[in-house]
Amino acid sequence: MIGLIYRAADALRRRALANNHGRLGEDLAHRYLRRHGCTIVARNYRPRSGAGEIDIVAWQGETLVFVEVKTRVSAEFGTPDRAVDAEKQERVRRAARDYARRAGVEWDSTRFDIVSVLLAPVRIEWNRNAFRLTV
C-alpha cells in the first residue's frame, strides 16, 4: 500500500517539476539514500561565505557524507557524474569544510559521494568516495 502512495507522489512530483530536473534528481537521490541507510541532515547547504554548495549532507554510520547530485534526462552526452570536474569538487570541499567545522566533525570522518540520476528511464547510481578529501 505504501509503495502505491510513493509511486503516486512520484508521478505528481515529476509533473510539477517537469522543467526542474535538478530538483527532481535531488528528491530522488534523497529518497534513495534514506532507503540505503543514510540519515539526511541537510539539503542545499551553503556556507555564509557563499563558497560552494552541498546538495545533500547525510550520516552513514559514523561517517558524515557530502553528496553531489547530478541529474540528466538521458545518458546521450555521458553519465551525469562526469560533470563533477575539479572546480566543482573544490567548491563542494570548501562548503564541506565549513559544515564539518560548524558541526564539530573531524575531517577524517567525512567522505564525498556523487549520486547520478538519469530520468529516462529512471536510474540512480551512488558513487561512494567519488573524490578525495584534501586538507
Model pTM score: 0.83
Please name the fold of domain 2-131: Trna Endonuclease; Chain: A, domain 1 (3.40.1350)
Q: What is the pLDDT of residues 120-130, one digit of tens each?
A: 888 999 999 99
* Of 119 and 77, more confident: 119
Burial of 112 per CB tally in 10 Å (0-12, 13-18, 19+) = buried
Residue 106's alpha-carbon distances to 39, 61, 111, in angstroms, are 18, 14, 11
| Dist. CA 70–CA 80, nearest whole Å | 5
Q: Which ranges constitute the DSSP H helices of the chain?
A: 2-16, 21-35, 86-103
Q: What is the pLDDT of residues 24-57, one digit of tens each?
A: 999 999 999 999 999 999 999 999 988 889 999 9
